[in-house]
Amino acid sequence: MEFSHEIFLKNIAQTTGSPILLEVEKAAGSYLYSPDGKAYLDLISGVGVNHLGHQHPHIINRIKEQVDKHLHVMVYGEFVQSTPNLLAKKLTELLPPSLNCCYFTNSGTEANEGALKLVKRYTGRTEIISCRGSYHGSTHGSLSVSGNETKKQAFRPLLPDVKFVRFNNMDDLKMITTKTACIIMETVQGDAGVRVPSQEYMTALRAKCDDTGTLIIFDEIQAGMGRTGKMFAFEHFNIVPDILTTAKALGGGLPIGAFISSYEKMTSLTHDPMLGHITTFGGNPASCAAALGVLEVFENENIVAQVEAKGQLIESLLQHHKIIEIRRKGMMFAIDFASSDDVFKIAKYCLDHGVITFWFLSCPNSFRISPPLNISEEDIRKGCAVIQEAFNLL
Ligand code: PMP
C-alpha cells in the first residue's frame, strides 16, 4: 500500500498538494473497494461520470464485444465502423431534429474546443461570449471561455475576443450583438455550485441569439445524461441550442465526448479548410461501444424518470440547521455551509466512514454530491445517514 502511494506521488504528475489518496482495487454498482476490502459508497460518481454506477454488466458486455472485434483502425472520419454509427444514430434520436450530426471527441474540453471552432467557421465571426462562473475545460480554448480568473491568470495570453456576461442576467443579454459568433453556456452551471437559469432568461437568450444570428452552445458535459431529471438539461427549458456538447457520463467510464449540431452546420468543417477539425482517437470504437451501452441502459431501465424523486428524497434526508442553502436540479447538488473548512471537514468524515463526497473548484463553501442515478433507496439512506453525522460535527 505504502509503496503504491510512493509511486503515485513520485511518478504520476500531481495536480494538488493534497490528493485524496484513496486506493481503489475494484468497483461495482455504487461502491468502490480498497485493497484491504473496505467498501466505499460512491456519492460522487467519478465527478459526474458513473451515472449508471460502476461495471454495469450491459456496458461491460458492449465493451467486451467491441474489444473482440476491433479497436482503433483509422483516424477520425475516414473508415465506416458500425459502433460509432449506431451510437450517433441512437444519440441523435434522443435529440431534436436540428441536432442530428455528432462529432465524437475524447473528452469534454475537446468537445468544447470543436464547438468553438465550428461557430467561428460557420458564422465567420470571432467574438465569443461566455458566462461568469463557468467551467468548460482546461485546454487553452476552453480555459479562455471559463470564468475562474485565478485558474487562468498564469496561462495568458489566452483566446482573444472573449467577453463574459453574468449567468442568468437579463441586462447582460444586450452584450450579444451581430458581432457575436456564439454564447457558450452550461445549461446548469456545475462548478459554480449548481446554478439553474430561469425560464424567462432562457427564452430571452434564444430570442436574442435568433435576432443577432448568434449560435448557442450548451455545455452539458456535467448537467447532461439524466443528471438533472431529463436526459439533457435544456429539455427543462423548451429551447434548443445550435450546438450541444456532452462527455463524462456519455462513456459510462470510458473517455468520450461529442459536439452535436445540424448536418448543415457541421459540413462547414469539411472545406475551406478541408479537415477543419481532426483527431486521431475521437470516436474510438471501444469508447463508442461503452456509450452505446450507456444509452441502451437508459432506455431499458427507465432511469431518468426516477431522478427527480431520488433527488427529493436525498434533499429531505440532508436537512440540517447549519446548511445555508441547498441548490439542486434532479440529482445535481450543491449544499452551502459557512466556510470551505466546514466542507472539507464533512468530506473527510464521510471518507473516513466509507462514503465518497466532494467539493467544487469555484465554489469552496459548497459541499458536493452527484450519486449514481441508479443508486438504491437503501444506499441513499445509508449514505445520507453518514453525511448527517458529518453535519453534526459542525
Ligand atoms: N464542461 C463542464 C461543464 C465540465 O464539468 C467539465 C469537466 N468537469 C468539462 C467541460 C471538461 O471536461 P473534461 O474534463 O472531460 O475535459
| Residue-wise pLDDT tens digits, 270-298 | 999 999 999 999 999 999 999 999 999 99
CATH 3.40.640.10 in the chain, residue ranges = 57-301
Report the pLDDT value the prediction gives residue 361, as an integer from 0 to 100.
87
**Cα of 50 from ligand 1 centre, angstroms:** 14
Report the pLDDT value the prediction gives residue 3, as an integer from 0 to 100.
76
Regions of the chain short of the pLDDT cut 70? 1-2
Report the pLDDT value the prediction gives residue 2, as an integer from 0 to 100.
66
CB-CB neighbours of 128 under 10 Å: 24
At the topology level of CATH, where does 57-301 sit? Aspartate Aminotransferase; domain 2 (3.40.640)
CATH 3.90.1150.10 in the chain, residue ranges = 5-56+303-392
CATH number assigned to the domain with residue range 5-56+303-392, chosen from the 4 options 3.40.1160.10, 3.40.50.720, 1.10.10.10, 3.90.1150.10: 3.90.1150.10
What are the grid coordinates assigned to 321, written together?
440547521
- Taking the C-alpha atoms of residue 171 and residue 182, their distance in angstroms, rounded to an integer, is 17
**Cα of 317 from ligand 1 centre, angstroms:** 29
Ligand 1 pocket test, candidate residues 109, 143, 259, most atoms within 8 A of CB: 109
**Residues in the ligand 1 pocket, defined by CB under 6 Å:** 107-109, 112, 135-137, 186, 190-191, 219, 221-222, 247
**Cα of 249 from ligand 1 centre, angstroms:** 11
Q: State pTM to two decimals.
A: 0.98
- Taking the C-alpha atoms of residue 1 and residue 60, their distance in angstroms, rounded to an integer, is 28
Report the pLDDT value the prediction gives residue 4, as an integer from 0 to 100.
86
Q: Read off the pLDDT of residues 196-251 as tens digits, 9 standing for 90 and up.
A: 999 999 999 999 999 999 999 999 999 999 999 999 999 999 999 999 999 999 99
